[in-house]
Structure 1
Amino acid sequence: MKAAAESVKFLVNSAYRNPGSCLSQKQADLAKRIALKFRMKQSYDLKLLFCKKCKAYSPPLYSKTIRVRRGRLIFRCKNCGSVYRIPFK
Protein backbone atom coordinates (compact mmCIF):
# COMPACT_ATOMS: atom_id res chain seq x y z
CA MET A 1 0.00 0.00 0.00
CA LYS A 2 2.82 2.37 0.88
CA ALA A 3 4.68 1.55 -2.33
CA ALA A 4 1.52 2.24 -4.34
CA ALA A 5 1.13 5.65 -2.67
CA GLU A 6 4.73 6.52 -3.47
CA SER A 7 4.38 5.45 -7.10
CA VAL A 8 1.17 7.50 -7.49
CA LYS A 9 2.92 10.54 -6.04
CA PHE A 10 5.91 10.05 -8.36
CA LEU A 11 3.71 9.64 -11.46
CA VAL A 12 1.65 12.75 -10.65
CA ASN A 13 4.79 14.82 -10.15
CA SER A 14 6.23 13.61 -13.46
CA ALA A 15 2.97 14.36 -15.27
CA TYR A 16 3.10 17.94 -13.90
CA ARG A 17 6.61 18.47 -15.27
CA ASN A 18 5.64 17.87 -18.91
CA PRO A 19 1.89 18.56 -19.08
CA GLY A 20 1.49 18.79 -22.86
CA SER A 21 3.16 15.53 -23.85
CA CYS A 22 1.65 12.13 -24.58
CA LEU A 23 3.83 10.54 -21.90
CA SER A 24 2.34 12.75 -19.20
CA GLN A 25 -1.15 11.61 -20.21
CA LYS A 26 -0.12 7.97 -19.82
CA GLN A 27 1.51 8.70 -16.46
CA ALA A 28 -1.59 10.43 -15.13
CA ASP A 29 -3.85 7.61 -16.34
CA LEU A 30 -1.57 5.04 -14.72
CA ALA A 31 -1.53 6.99 -11.44
CA LYS A 32 -5.33 7.07 -11.42
CA ARG A 33 -5.59 3.35 -12.19
CA ILE A 34 -3.17 2.49 -9.37
CA ALA A 35 -5.10 4.67 -6.90
CA LEU A 36 -8.39 3.06 -7.91
CA LYS A 37 -7.00 -0.48 -7.75
CA PHE A 38 -5.67 -0.08 -4.22
CA ARG A 39 -8.72 1.96 -3.14
CA MET A 40 -6.58 4.87 -2.05
CA LYS A 41 -8.01 8.28 -1.35
CA GLN A 42 -7.10 10.35 -4.39
CA SER A 43 -5.04 13.42 -3.67
CA TYR A 44 -6.14 16.89 -4.65
CA ASP A 45 -3.39 17.01 -7.31
CA LEU A 46 -4.68 13.85 -8.95
CA LYS A 47 -8.28 15.05 -8.91
CA LEU A 48 -7.34 18.28 -10.72
CA LEU A 49 -5.71 16.37 -13.58
CA PHE A 50 -8.98 14.87 -14.82
CA CYS A 51 -12.26 16.39 -15.98
CA LYS A 52 -15.14 15.44 -13.72
CA LYS A 53 -17.58 14.95 -16.59
CA CYS A 54 -15.73 13.38 -19.53
CA LYS A 55 -12.95 11.83 -17.35
CA ALA A 56 -10.35 12.97 -19.87
CA TYR A 57 -6.82 13.95 -18.84
CA SER A 58 -6.87 17.72 -18.77
CA PRO A 59 -4.09 19.45 -16.85
CA PRO A 60 -4.70 23.02 -15.72
CA LEU A 61 -3.48 25.72 -18.13
CA TYR A 62 -3.37 23.30 -21.10
CA SER A 63 -6.80 21.68 -21.35
CA LYS A 64 -8.73 23.81 -18.86
CA THR A 65 -9.42 27.46 -18.37
CA ILE A 66 -9.31 28.71 -14.80
CA ARG A 67 -11.11 31.80 -13.51
CA VAL A 68 -11.49 33.28 -10.05
CA ARG A 69 -14.87 34.83 -9.29
CA ARG A 70 -16.67 35.56 -6.04
CA GLY A 71 -14.41 33.39 -3.93
CA ARG A 72 -14.48 30.39 -6.26
CA LEU A 73 -12.14 28.77 -8.71
CA ILE A 74 -14.06 28.06 -11.92
CA PHE A 75 -12.67 25.33 -14.19
CA ARG A 76 -13.89 24.85 -17.78
CA CYS A 77 -12.80 21.76 -19.71
CA LYS A 78 -11.75 22.47 -23.28
CA ASN A 79 -12.71 18.94 -24.40
CA CYS A 80 -16.36 18.77 -23.32
CA GLY A 81 -17.05 22.32 -22.10
CA SER A 82 -18.22 21.32 -18.63
CA VAL A 83 -17.85 23.79 -15.78
CA TYR A 84 -17.18 22.99 -12.15
CA ARG A 85 -16.47 25.26 -9.21
CA ILE A 86 -14.30 24.91 -6.12
CA PRO A 87 -14.51 27.29 -3.11
CA PHE A 88 -11.42 29.43 -2.72
CA LYS A 89 -10.38 31.57 0.23
Structure 2
Amino acid sequence: MRKSGVALVFLLLAGINIVGAQNKKTAVHAIGFYNLENLFDTCHDVGHNDYEYLPSSKTPWNTEKYLSKLRHMSQALADMGTDVVPLHVGILAE
Protein backbone atom coordinates (compact mmCIF):
# COMPACT_ATOMS: atom_id res chain seq x y z
CA MET A 1 0.00 0.00 0.00
CA ARG A 2 2.83 2.38 0.85
CA LYS A 3 4.49 1.76 -2.54
CA SER A 4 1.31 2.61 -4.41
CA GLY A 5 0.96 5.82 -2.36
CA VAL A 6 4.51 6.87 -3.23
CA ALA A 7 3.86 6.06 -6.89
CA LEU A 8 0.64 8.12 -6.82
CA VAL A 9 2.44 11.13 -5.29
CA PHE A 10 5.19 10.81 -7.89
CA LEU A 11 2.67 10.72 -10.75
CA LEU A 12 0.81 13.73 -9.35
CA LEU A 13 4.02 15.75 -9.03
CA ALA A 14 5.08 14.74 -12.54
CA GLY A 15 1.68 15.76 -13.88
CA ILE A 16 1.86 19.15 -12.16
CA ASN A 17 5.33 19.68 -13.59
CA ILE A 18 4.14 18.84 -17.12
CA VAL A 19 1.16 21.20 -16.88
CA GLY A 20 3.37 23.98 -15.51
CA ALA A 21 5.98 23.43 -18.21
CA GLN A 22 3.43 24.09 -20.94
CA ASN A 23 3.21 27.74 -19.93
CA LYS A 24 6.96 28.37 -19.98
CA LYS A 25 8.64 29.89 -23.00
CA THR A 26 11.88 28.23 -23.95
CA ALA A 27 14.73 29.58 -26.01
CA VAL A 28 15.41 27.78 -29.27
CA HIS A 29 18.91 27.65 -30.69
CA ALA A 30 19.67 26.24 -34.12
CA ILE A 31 22.99 24.61 -34.87
CA GLY A 32 23.75 23.58 -38.41
CA PHE A 33 26.66 21.90 -40.08
CA TYR A 34 27.45 21.85 -43.78
CA ASN A 35 30.45 20.12 -45.31
CA LEU A 36 32.38 22.60 -47.45
CA GLU A 37 35.27 20.20 -47.94
CA ASN A 38 34.29 19.45 -51.56
CA LEU A 39 33.70 23.05 -52.58
CA PHE A 40 36.15 23.60 -55.42
CA ASP A 41 36.31 26.45 -57.88
CA THR A 42 37.47 25.88 -61.47
CA CYS A 43 41.09 26.97 -60.91
CA HIS A 44 43.91 24.70 -59.75
CA ASP A 45 45.30 25.49 -56.30
CA VAL A 46 48.94 24.52 -55.83
CA GLY A 47 49.31 21.99 -53.03
CA HIS A 48 45.71 20.74 -53.26
CA ASN A 49 44.41 17.62 -54.97
CA ASP A 50 41.69 19.39 -56.93
CA TYR A 51 42.35 17.87 -60.36
CA GLU A 52 38.93 16.20 -60.38
CA TYR A 53 37.31 19.64 -60.25
CA LEU A 54 39.04 21.30 -63.20
CA PRO A 55 37.50 21.96 -66.63
CA SER A 56 40.02 19.51 -68.16
CA SER A 57 39.00 16.54 -65.92
CA LYS A 58 37.07 13.42 -67.07
CA THR A 59 33.88 14.90 -65.66
CA PRO A 60 34.37 18.54 -66.62
CA TRP A 61 33.84 20.88 -63.70
CA ASN A 62 32.87 24.27 -65.05
CA THR A 63 31.72 27.67 -63.85
CA GLU A 64 28.05 26.79 -64.38
CA LYS A 65 28.30 23.71 -62.13
CA TYR A 66 30.30 25.66 -59.55
CA LEU A 67 27.74 28.48 -59.39
CA SER A 68 24.90 25.96 -59.21
CA LYS A 69 26.61 24.26 -56.25
CA LEU A 70 27.03 27.65 -54.55
CA ARG A 71 23.33 28.43 -55.04
CA HIS A 72 22.27 25.07 -53.60
CA MET A 73 24.62 25.38 -50.65
CA SER A 74 23.52 28.93 -49.89
CA GLN A 75 19.86 27.86 -50.01
CA ALA A 76 20.55 24.94 -47.66
CA LEU A 77 22.34 27.25 -45.22
CA ALA A 78 19.55 29.82 -45.45
CA ASP A 79 16.91 27.16 -44.70
CA MET A 80 18.60 26.07 -41.46
CA GLY A 81 16.73 27.47 -38.48
CA THR A 82 14.58 29.80 -40.59
CA ASP A 83 12.51 30.89 -37.61
CA VAL A 84 15.59 31.81 -35.57
CA VAL A 85 18.16 34.45 -36.49
CA PRO A 86 21.68 33.03 -36.05
CA LEU A 87 23.96 34.69 -33.54
CA HIS A 88 27.10 33.43 -35.28
CA VAL A 89 27.99 31.98 -38.65
CA GLY A 90 31.41 30.51 -39.14
CA ILE A 91 33.46 28.42 -41.51
CA LEU A 92 36.25 26.22 -40.23
CA ALA A 93 39.10 25.54 -42.61
CA GLU A 94 42.30 23.55 -42.46
TM class, shorter-length: under 0.3
Alignment TM-score, normalising by the size of structure 2:
0.23
- Of Structure 1 and Structure 2, which has the larger fraction of its residues in strand? 1
